[in-house]
Chain A
Amino acid sequence: GQQLNQSPQSMFIQEGEDVSMNCTSSSIFNTWLWYKQDPGEGPVLLIALYKAGELTSNGRLTAQFGITRKDSFLNISASIPSDVGIYFCAGPRFAGGTSYGKLTFGQGTILTVHP
């Protein structure tokens, strides 16, 4: 499988601040997915990206599929306390794959929002 590297590992921010996190790979991906996991829950899909250069928004979330197809970033604007959780990037488990279920995940970015 492919390896994904996420940074930063953790973030501590004040409510209202914007957040940016990214994910890189040594291999090319055809699809990038961003998930959020709350404590004691399974990951929930936030945004899916399908082609290089694509910029997609979902409310206060914006994600981009890097031109090189080896990276992606996720921005959260005007953070609120319920944004707390672990954010994972993910992509198909093998190069050229398109499955949304057979995935490789990054290590996660832990987000803490102080009121």
Chain B
Amino acid sequence: GAGVSQSPRYKVAKRGQDVALRCDPISGHVSLFWYQQALGQGPEFLTYFQNEAQLDKSGLPSDRFFAERPEGSVSTLKIQRTQQEDSAVYLCASSGQLNTEAFFGQGTRLTVV
């Protein structure tokens, strides 16, 4: 597709369950970003990749959050032992270069019950 694709669109997890969220960036985009958007709030930066290198993970809220992009294309955000406070929309964005516009996907809405 032409845009950033995220899957699944919706995920319901029981507290304590591990989840994996996928992001397919725009083809050829080297920069990839993950954001967390709580209900009624703006997106909050989680982590940034340039190709396969994770250059900034300062926004990850705890060591239960892990992101990877092993081949510099598709990225996975993994949350271990999910907690209720992890419920949010997780947005992925990609850009051709760091200093160009980033395009966002539709997000994955995670609900932890």
Whether a CB of chain A sits under 8 angstroms from the CB of B56 is yes
Interface residues on B, range: 20 to 34
By a beta-carbon cutoff of 8 Å, the part of chain B in contact with chain A is 4, 31, 33, 40-45, 48, 56, 91, 93-95, 98-102, 104-107
Q: Are B104 and A103 in contact (CB under 8 A)?
A: no
Produce 1/0 per residue, A49-84, CB < 8 A to B: 000000000000000000000000000000000000
Q: Is the interface of A mostly helix, strand, loop or mixed?
A: loop
Which of A1, A90, A100 is packed against the most chain B CB atoms within 10 Å? A100
Count of CB-CB pairs between chains A and B under 8 Å = 60
Give the distance to chain A from B83, nearest Cβ to Cβ, in Å: 23
Q: Are A100 and B42 in contact (CB under 8 A)?
A: no
Can you sample 11 A-B contacts with CB below 8 Å?
A40-B106, A42-B104, A98-B99, A100-B95, A101-B48, A101-B94, A101-B98, A103-B45, A105-B42, A108-B40, A108-B42
